[in-house]
Structure 1
């Protein structure tokens, strides 16, 4: 994306962008300035449409959505250039590997020629006239042979490094916003999105669901942490399947999860929570070593809808109270606050 406006036009776009950012509670950082500068310039209709749809859904443009739109529309050319550079580097590495193979083959052929020449020169008929050549070749052939073998091994090692480099370049880096075990967004993303959505103006409803795996410490003690990790991974998979956008499921920490539901009232959130609770209690995990089927996994849920003028921290505290009430009521249930 190239910005070619003159100072007057640029200032005008900035004057238009800032009030919109304030209106929709958009954090004033460089990324968002560029995003909304582009929005008011109307240079990318697709971007404007997606921002409008996001505002309609959330009442704001959440940070994770802003970052996605920024990468997709504002710096897409730069990303393409970076990817092209990586592709070219991989191509160079591939050619290097091919040349290394060719060099090894040529060296091997040269060694064969030298050995054949040595045999020919060792013919007794040529002994009187070629004594010096024979002595010289005899002296260096063994050394050349050993050197060739070393060179081939070095080439093989280089090819292994090239292959490793190609794999590293092609491998996607883990996003710092993603919990590596469950694949869900992490607490950092949750805190950012919740604060922004709570602070947004408008009448968008927001409901928070807090979830805690029942007796998880005891489960780990009884079955081991590897089995515990499998349970958490299942939770992550289930939440992603049952809570599509604009809902935001996250791993809140440890065995605790949270779902931020935009546009859902409390009754709708309770219905979703009950569906999740039933699916969780139907989990069956078979131990490979013993063959024993584990069927004692349940979770407790605390649900509360955002109240007027409530802060993000207050909403979390109310949802936590509902969650602890669910645990006090015998666990494996949904309680509202």
Structure 2
């Protein structure tokens, strides 16, 4: 969307937005300034409705939902710009195609000229003076040489442009918040989200599931790190499938994962953990080289619900103790604390 307010009106919107951000413990970053600026301007009724529903449900606006609302309502008109690299690549391909056609046409014409010249030389009755044939061949040889040189320059330029586009796309895909192996959010996002929830004036009901893959080091030693990575990738996919926004699934570190359930009580968190436990122990991975089917993958779960006046560290520690109890009592089980 476009902002067309004058400086006085803009200052007034900002004056209204900042106290609301403080009230609901919204991190003061550019994205949230723009989101709440738009909210107080009342220009996007659907944004205001969704924001009001979110605040009523959670007592704040979790980071994940803030980003979603920002994409949907603040920069939806500009998202088409993300297709610029693709459009540039298409234009580049079309340009190269035209130059290929030109080069092919020059080559074809030159081939015909060579055939005509040979025919003329083989028929002395119809043959023009040799000097004329040589001059014509020389002119066309120069022409095709120039066309070929231009085409080579276009190819070289295209290679540089493709390399630049590739680098730009790779930078776009690199997100400091995403774990590259599993595709899940990382610990940094988890900490930010949890701090925001706990810092809210009235924190919403929040539960935490800590997950640890059983005997993962032994699994790596026995089957190799590539197989271990496959297991981690499967975990990432499973968590993404099972955890819909605003539930936050992250790779906590190594073979440990965490799920932050905003607005969900302990009972529902334990139910989700039990569902995931069954799905994990049903994993079957086949080794390509040996054909061996691996079916010994399990995980342990610790579940806790946020209590009043509890810090983030205390909350995580309680869930971790529940996880430790699950591992101590035989693994492949869910323990609540």
Indicate whether the TM-score tops 0.5.
yes
Question: CA 1:220–1:18 in 2, change beyond 3 Å: closer, same or farther?
Answer: same
Maintained 8 Å contact 2:210/2:258 = yes
Matched residue, 2:222: 222
**2:70 alignment partner in structure 1:** 70
Matched positions, count: 335
**TM-score (normalised: structure 2):** 0.86
CA distance in 1, matches of 2:44, 2:55: 17
- Aligned partner of 2:94 in structure 1 is 95
| Cα offsets for 1:97-146 (capped at 9, x unmatched) | 2311221222123303431442355342466x724323445667777777
Consecutive unaligned residues of structure 2, counting only runs of 5 or more, are: none
CA contact (8 A) 1:93 1:166 kept: no
What is the root-mean-square deviation in Å for CA atoms of aligned residues?
A: 3.1
Match of 2:7 in 1: 7
Q: Residues 249-268 of structure 1: matches in 2 within 5 Å?
A: 249-268=249-268
Q: Residue by residue, what CA displacement relative to the aligned partner does 1:53-97 show, whole Å, maximum 9, x if unpaired? A: 3223332112232223223322233333x2464455244323312
Q: Deviations over 1:135-168 (max 9, x none)?
A: 4456677777777777777777777888888888
Mapped partners of 2:137, 2:9: distance in 1? 82
Is the 2:64–2:246 contact (alpha carbons within 8 Å) kept by the matching residues of 1? no
Normalising to structure 1: TM-score of the pair? Answer: 0.86
Conserved in 2, the CA contact under 8 Å of 1:24 and 1:60?
yes
Q: Check 1:164–1:204 CA distance in 2 against 1; reply closer, same or farther (3 A cut).
A: same
Correspondence for 1:110:
109
Once the two structures are TM-superposed, the CA of residue 209 in structure 1 deviates from its matched residue by 1.0
Go from structure 1 to structure 2 and tell me whether the alpha carbon gap of 1:263 and 1:142 turns closer, same or farther (over 3 Å shift). Answer: closer
**CA shift digits 1:246-302 (9 cap, x unpaired):** 321111111000010112222222222122222222222222332322222111111
Name stretches of at least 5 consecutive residues in structure 1 with no aligned partner: none
1:16 paired residue number: 16
Cα 1:116–1:293 change in 2 (3 A) is closer
